[in-house]
A and B are shown apart, each in its own frame.
Chain A
Amino acid sequence: MKEELFVSGRNIPHIDPYLHLWTWEIPLYLFLGGLAAGILFFAGYFYVMHKERDMKATIKWAPMLVPFILVIGLGALFLDLHHKLYFWRLYTIIRFQSPMSWGAWVLMAITPLSIVWAASYLKEVFPKWKWPFAWLDTFEAFVIKYRKAMAWIMMILSVILGVYTGILLSAFNARPLWNTSILGPLFLVSGFSTGLAAIIWMSKSKYERKVLTRIDLIFIFVELFFIIHMIMGFQAGSEAAHEAAKLFLGGEFTVTFWVFVVLLGLAFPATLEIFELRGYHVPVWIPSFLILLGGLIFRFVILEAGQITRYLY
Chain B
Amino acid sequence: MRYAMAVDTKKCVGCGDCVVACQTENNVPHGYCRDWIVENVAGTYPKLEIELRSERCNHCENAPCVRCCPTGASHIVDGGIVLVTHDECIGCGACIESCPYDARYPHPEGYVDKCTFCVHRVTDGENPACVDVCPTHCLHFGDLDDPNSDVSKILKNRKWKVLAPEAGTKPQLYFLT
Chains A and B are bound partners = yes
Q: A10-B33, A173-B64 in contact; A5/B39 too (CB < 8 A)?
A: yes
Q: Indicate whether A1 reaches chain B with its CB closer than 8 angstroms.
A: yes
| Interface contact A86-B90, CB-CB below 8 Å | yes
Q: Which of B14, B43, B44, B68 contacts A8 (CB 8 A)?
A: B14
Q: How far is the CA of A11 from the CA of B72 in the complex (A)?
A: 28
User: Which listed residue (B37, B38, B64) contacts A174, Cβ 8 A?
Assistant: B64
Q: Identify whether the interface residues of A are mostly helix, strand, loop, or mixed.
A: loop
Number of chain B interface residues as a range: 35 or more
Query: How far apart are the CA atoms of A306 and B98 in the complex, in Å?
Result: 11
Cα(A99)–Cα(B87), bound, Å: 21
B91 interface neighbour in A4, A84, A174, A307, Cβ under 8 Å: A84
Q: Of B102-110, B126-134, B140-148, which stretch is located at the interface?
A: B102-110
Contacts of B91 in A (CB 8 A): 81-84, 86
**Contacts A13-B31, A83-B110, A95-B72 given: A6-B39 contact, CB under 8 Å?**
yes
- A11 → chain B closest CB, angstroms: 7
Instruction: Enumerate chain A residues within 8 angstroms of B89, measured Cβ to Cβ.
Output: 83, 86, 89
CA distance A22 to B93 in the complex (A): 8
Q: Is the CB of B42 within 8 A of A3?
A: yes
> Binary interface profile of A, 1-30, with partner B (CB < 8 Å = 1, else 0)?
111111111111111100101100000000
Contact of B16 among A9, A104, A173, A310 (CB under 8 A): A9
Asked if A92 is at the interface of the complex by the 8 Å CB criterion, the answer is yes
Assess whether A97 is interfacial by the CB under 8 Å rule. Answer: yes
Contact B88 A86 (CB under 8 A): yes
The minimal Cβ–Cβ distance linking B60 to chain A, given in whole angstroms, is: 11
Complex interface: chain B residues within 8 A of A10 (CB) = 33, 36
The minimal Cβ–Cβ distance linking A165 to chain B, given in whole angstroms, is 14
Given contacts A15-B96, A90-B71, whether A4 and B90 have CB atoms under 8 Å apart is no
Known interface pairs A8-B16, A83-B89, A101-B71. Does A310 touch B42 (Cβ–Cβ under 8 Å)?
no
* In the complex, chain A residues whose CB is within 8 Å of the CB of B73: 89
A86 to B72, CA, bound (A): 13
Quick check: is A276 within 8 A (CB to CB) of the other chain? no
Interface string of B45-80 (1 = CB under 8 A from A): 000000000000000000010011111110000000
Which of A12, A22, A80, A101 meets B70, CB within 8 Å?
A101
Name the B residues within 8 Å of A90 (CB-CB).
70-71, 90
The residues of A with any CB-CB pair to B shorter than 8 Å are: 1-16, 19, 21-22, 80-87, 89-90, 92-93, 95, 97-101, 104, 171-175, 238, 307, 310-311, 313
The 8 closest A-B pairs by CB, nearest first: A82-B91, A83-B91, A83-B110, A101-B70, A174-B100, A100-B70, A311-B164, A6-B39
A-B contact pairs, 20 of them (CB 8 A): A1-B44, A2-B43, A5-B41, A9-B36, A12-B33, A13-B106, A19-B97, A22-B97, A82-B91, A83-B91, A83-B109, A90-B70, A98-B69, A98-B70, A100-B92, A172-B64, A172-B94, A172-B98, A173-B64, A174-B100
Instruction: List 14 additional A-B contacts (Cβ < 8 Å) besides A21-B93, A83-B109, A86-B89.
Output: A7-B36, A8-B37, A9-B33, A19-B96, A19-B102, A21-B97, A22-B97, A82-B91, A85-B110, A92-B71, A93-B70, A97-B68, A100-B94, A174-B97
